[in-house]
Chains A and B, each alone.
Chain A
């Protein structure tokens, strides 16, 4: 069990499952508004980053590709946050 967790892909998979459970739970309790949106986007960002670094294996890739993929995640999260912020005004 502990030995298996030395594999970053196994670790990422576990964190991804727990994070999915949290997003699902926030939906179940009807979480809405600023804090809920920020929390769900933050969770999606962490999950996306794990997929990029540990599943796509870009942790050891040339910097340009890490910047492009992680930059996409930041770009998308920012646009969504901006749109939801506009809707709250």
Chain B
């Protein structure tokens, strides 16, 4: 009886398309890896927030020395980089063979833009004599953003591999597993920055 009602409601909701069965994009292993990475960053974010609770004046004072425009620009670059990679996955599913490598490359370039902005930002801070040992705020700012920076580089290495594979026409509607796995990792890098940017650059 319940099954009939469910069937009827789905028919009413979408008369033309049957609901797709639940599906996890990419390989299961990448999702466990992503989960481990997210937990490591959760510890880092919490450490920042609770250390700040004990040094509010210090954190508020030195947070103002950060370049918020650079942080926001980098958010835009990662969001757009993620969007290109989603487009690459969608292109693979509709067998648009040229669209896959093109969008992966555009996503990679957004990552490159992020790295350039970050290096300029670091150069300015290091040039002013700021280091990990300057104070607790800069210790967190440098270690948190650098840990994330390394993840952007790893994400770009993955995108480079996906790009060479995509150029050979490996990904299509028949198989996009590898592409989806790499894409999920790239989106994780984006997700982490979405929390990191307001936390370290803006919230006070």
A interface vs B, CB < 8 Å?
7, 9-10, 12-13, 16-17, 20-21, 23-24, 26-28, 32, 36-37, 40-41, 43-44, 47-48, 51-52, 54-58, 60-63, 65, 68-69, 72-73, 75-77, 79-80, 82-84, 86-87
Nearest-Cβ distance from residue B143 to partner chain A, whole angstroms: 17
- Pick the interface stretch among B1-9, B79-87, B125-133, B166-174: B79-87
Q: A27-B68, A80-B199, A83-B46 are in contact. Are A52 and B24 (CB under 8 A)?
A: no
- The 8 A-B pairs of least Cβ separation, nearest first, read A83-B49, A24-B72, A27-B202, A87-B53, A13-B83, A9-B86, A55-B187, A79-B46
CB-based contact B202/A86 at 8 Å: no
With a cutoff of 8 Å between Cβ atoms, the chain A residues found around residue B86 in the complex are 9, 54-55, 57
CB-based contact A76/B195 at 8 Å: yes
Whether B20 sits at the interface, judged by CB under 8 Å, is: yes
Whether B178 sits at the interface, judged by CB under 8 Å, is: no
For chain B, what secondary structure do more than half of its interface residues adopt (helix, strand, loop), or is it mixed?
A: helix
With a cutoff of 8 Å between Cβ atoms, the chain A residues found around residue B197 in the complex are 20, 23
Interface hub of B83, B90, B194 (most chain A Cβ within 10 A): B194
CA distance A63 to B24 in the complex (A): 10
Whether B33 sits at the interface, judged by CB under 8 Å, is: no
Interface size on B, residues (CB 8 A): 48
With a cutoff of 8 Å between Cβ atoms, the chain B residues found around residue A32 in the complex are 60, 204
Nearest-Cβ distance from residue B44 to partner chain A, whole angstroms: 10
B interface vs A, CB < 8 Å?
20, 22-25, 31, 35, 38-39, 42, 45-46, 49-50, 52-53, 56, 60, 68-69, 72, 75-76, 79-80, 82-83, 85-87, 89-90, 180, 183-184, 187-188, 190-191, 194-195, 197-199, 201-204
A-B contact count (CB 8 A): 131
CB-based contact A44/B46 at 8 Å: no
CB-based contact B24/A37 at 8 Å: no
- Given A20-B72, A37-B203, A62-B23, 15 more A-B residue pairs with CB atoms under 8 Å apart are A9-B83, A23-B197, A24-B72, A27-B68, A40-B202, A44-B199, A51-B194, A55-B187, A56-B184, A57-B25, A61-B22, A61-B24, A80-B46, A80-B203, A84-B203
